[in-house]
Amino acid sequence: MSTDNETLREIARQSLLPDFFAARVDEEGLWSPLQQTLSRIQQSPPNAIIEKVKVIASQAASASDFIEKIKSAKLWLELKELVARVRVK
């Protein structure tokens, strides 16, 4: 497991609020690794929530923009759980 993914998982576990998560991701320079991690998630059969998060991540310009869109879609808890638990090779 890469150090970036481990750091992202730890930030997700510690984040009670979505804005805190976005700030830490930006602070740590992890926006690009987060996008890459989300894009590599594969589910069989595809999960609609995960696919929505992946689309939002691919269209967002920054972690703050991403979190604003996640909050609008009411997907914060799902994102937090996904990032905290996902294992990507």
Q: 6 in the Ramachandran plot: left (φ > 0), alpha (ψ -120 to 50) or beta?
A: alpha
Which pLDDT score is estimated for 88? Answer: 66
Res 81 pLDDT > 80: yes
- Which residues, 6 or more positions from 74, have their beta carbon under 8 angstroms from its beta carbon? none
Which pLDDT score is estimated for 44? Answer: 86
Model-wide pTM > 0.75: yes
Which pLDDT score is estimated for 67? Answer: 97
Q: List, for residues 36-79, the tens digit of each pLDDT value.
A: 999 998 888 989 999 999 999 999 999 999 999 999 999 999 99
Closest-CA residue to 60 (of 48, 41, 73):
73
Q: How many Cβ atoms from other residues are within 10 Å of residue 56's Cβ?
A: 20
Q: Delimit the domains of the chain by residue range.
A: 3-85
Give the residue ranges of DSSP H helices in 1-89.
3-14, 18-27, 31-39, 48-59, 63-72, 76-85
Which pLDDT score is estimated for 70? Answer: 97
